Amino acid sequence: MTRPNELTFAPLGGVGQIGMNLSIYGLAGKWLAIDLGVYFGDEEHLPGIDLVMPDVRFLEKEKKNLVGLVLTHAHEDHFGAIIDLWPKLKCPIYATQFSAALFEAKCASERNPPKIPVTVVPSGGRINLGPFDIEFIPVAHSIPESHAIALHTPFGTVLHTGDWKIDPTPIIGLPTDEKRLRELGDAGVLAIIGDSTNAVRDGRSPSETEVAATLTKLVKAAKGRVAVTTFASNVARLRAVAEAAQAAGREVVLVGRAMERVVQVARECGYLDGLPAFRNADYYGHFPPDKVVALCTGSQGEARAALARIASDDHPMVTLNKGDTVIFSSRTIPGNEKAVGTIINGLVTQGIEVITDRDALVHVSGHPRRDELRDMISWVRPQLLIPVHGEALHLHEHAKLARACGVPRTMIVKNGDLVRLAPGDAAVIDELPSGRMFKDGLILEDSKSRAVSERRRLSFAGCAFVALAVTMKGELVDDPAVDLIGIPEKNLKGEVMEDVVFDIVVNIVENLPKARKRDPDAMAESVRRAVRSSLADQWGKKTMCYVHILQVED
């Protein structure tokens, strides 16, 4: 499967969707993986599925040729699947300090903490793994230590951008390394594999520093208590909130475990140096209302997170009242609008002032808008651009923009496409096994999981259970047991559906031909069909139906 004389690339996730990022590069018979993340969205109904992740069966098969997994940054869509999938790959992992530390903290919070070693690489550092010469180039994003990965190969250099933006004043960490990117461009770059998230948005994304200024103004102006919710991993934002609190003479109280975990890691890495210690939620009640800022998890409306509990007055330590302020320093990820809306409505009903990014610059995206994409292209001047990290529209717009900027060639690929980057013209040369895995409770299932498809059917059409005890000749020994789960109690005529089904079952069993009566499988099938068609007539929906027949000796 590996091709010794070619440089290849394949996305095994993250194309045509935002999330579940996993890219692989092939060179001299070896593979390198970049990122291994989860997908959260639910554009599709997946009842009871906590996480969706890429199917790694191809890498599992090629394990002996996999030289390592390199992480661009520690967002869940880039590293959230490692704990579940690493046991299948067991390859060495490389990341910079903050990503490695956050991963370690995440492992430690698991029920059975896994031991997954990560080798720390310095920001801006360069490592060799098998035939790959890998450079970590700092880029600004919405988490500390995001990196573009430059792969230096005998066929030329490929720039895998990871998630990035241009922010000259990112509050913490290094800005995007324009100088290094220009140097790469001067030396010649074969291809950019690039972030397309904001390819439909004109202009440039504002700086974290502008958000910080807005937060300072808002916190200063607030009368009562202030709660700010944001993505815990955005340490620059946490810092901005802390500085806003300090400027207003308020203390910061952390509410939510994810928040505590990130703050601890950020402190260890020095990203919160110079700030007073944060308090834990126990202290919240000790401060007068105008002396406290609660920094909360739950910006996506997660039911068990801090903000949802506070909004429904169900948090043991943290309460809000009329006149207090809640700032959503976040964007609502598509799919979460309802959950977030419910919380906002709850807060507004209680007389709490809610400020979102519709009202003020309290959030910026961590991804490049069109002018930033143009800058990157003008610095790097690649021969080829393959848009990734986006839905179809984002990929298409990114490719179009690249061509308008003079990039000679663009290619839109799908998950599983194996692209030959060099030598010769880039082309899709194979299709690798790819797809999705579901985390169902503690169990990892493939996307054909019967359990999930059954639950999906159950969720819109319920299930009928029928149990019969019959003699060897097929005569009923007792009344059939009928249970209808998730099915309306009465039909349009007002008859109890369970009674109607009961009568049908009795009637079918009694009128079966003798031979069929003696065969329990045949009887079950006849009953099943009759029950399903009767429910379809009465209700207008097709249900699942299970018939159990117990034969008893005469």
Alpha carbons 251 and 245: distance in angstroms, whole number: 6
By CB under 5 A, residue 397 contacts Zn ion: no
Q: Could you give the C-alpha distances from 341 to 121, 147, 305, 328, 505, in angstroms and in order?
A: 41, 34, 15, 12, 47
Strand pairing class (353-355; 292-296): unpaired
Binding range to Zn ion, per CB under 5 A, among 159-167, 217-225, 410-418, 529-537: 159-167
DSSP 364: -
Nearer to Zn ion among residue 333 and residue 458 (C-beta): 333
Which one among 6, 163, 208, 302 touches Zn ion, defined by CB under 5 A?
Answer: 163
The interface with Zn ion within residues 77-106 (CB under 5 A) comprises 77
Binding range to Zn ion, per CB under 5 A, among 155-163, 215-223, 255-263, 375-383: 155-163
102, 265 contact by CB (below 8 A): yes
* Least distance in angstroms from the C-beta of 77 to Zn ion: 4
391, 194 contact by CB (below 8 A): no
* Least distance in angstroms from the C-beta of 286 to Zn ion: 36
Binding range to Zn ion, per CB under 5 A, among 157-165, 325-333, 411-419, 431-439: 157-165
Nearer to Zn ion among residue 101 and residue 326 (C-beta): 101
Backbone angles phi, psi at 526, to 5 degrees: -60, -45
The mark string for 43-82 relative to Zn ion (x by CB under 5 A, - otherwise) is --------------------------------x-x-----
Nearer to Zn ion among residue 138 and residue 156 (C-beta): 138
Alpha carbons 123 and 136: distance in angstroms, whole number: 6
Nearer to Zn ion among residue 75 and residue 225 (C-beta): 75
* Least distance in angstroms from the C-beta of 174 to Zn ion: 16
* Least distance in angstroms from the C-beta of 461 to Zn ion: 36
119, 101 contact by CB (below 8 A): no
251, 277 contact by CB (below 8 A): no
Nearer to Zn ion among residue 145 and residue 163 (C-beta): 163
Nearer to Zn ion among residue 145 and residue 353 (C-beta): 145
Nearer to Zn ion among residue 80 and residue 298 (C-beta): 80
Q: How many residues bind Zn ion (CB under 5 A)?
A: 3
Nearer to Zn ion among residue 261 and residue 517 (C-beta): 261
Nearer to Zn ion among residue 62 and residue 77 (C-beta): 77
Residue identified by tokens 């890219």 is 23
* Least distance in angstroms from the C-beta of 195 to Zn ion: 7
Alpha carbons 50 and 14: distance in angstroms, whole number: 18
* Least distance in angstroms from the C-beta of 11 to Zn ion: 13
* Least distance in angstroms from the C-beta of 208 to Zn ion: 14
452, 47 contact by CB (below 8 A): yes
Nearer to Zn ion among residue 20 and residue 535 (C-beta): 20
* Least distance in angstroms from the C-beta of 21 to Zn ion: 6
* Closest alpha carbon to 17 in 60, 54, 70, 57: 54
* Least distance in angstroms from the C-beta of 18 to Zn ion: 7
CB count in 10 Å sphere of residue 92: 14
* Least distance in angstroms from the C-beta of 199 to Zn ion: 14
* Least distance in angstroms from the C-beta of 312 to Zn ion: 30
The mark string for 406-445 relative to Zn ion (x by CB under 5 A, - otherwise) is ----------------------------------------
| SS3 at position 150 | strand
In one-letter notation, the amino acid at residue 316 is: P
Binding range to Zn ion, per CB under 5 A, among 160-168, 264-272, 347-355, 409-417: 160-168
Nearer to Zn ion among residue 77 and residue 302 (C-beta): 77
Positions of E strands within 426-543: 427-431, 436-440, 443-446, 463-471, 481-485
Q: Which residues pair with 430 in a beta bridge?
A: 418
* Least distance in angstroms from the C-beta of 40 to Zn ion: 11
Helices (H) and strands (E) in the chain — how many of each?
Answer: 16, 27
| SS3 at position 269 | coil
Alpha carbons 487 and 501: distance in angstroms, whole number: 12
Nearer to Zn ion among residue 77 and residue 440 (C-beta): 77
Positions of E strands within 130-250: 132-139, 146-153, 156-160, 189-195, 226-229
Q: Which two tokens stand for residue 400?
A: 């179009």
317, exposed or middle or buried, with CB in 10 Å at 0-12, 13-18, 19+? middle
Positions of E strands within 200-285: 226-229, 251-255, 279-280
Q: Which two tokens stand for residue 101?
A: 């530390």
* Residues in touch with Zn ion (CB under 5 A): 75, 77, 163
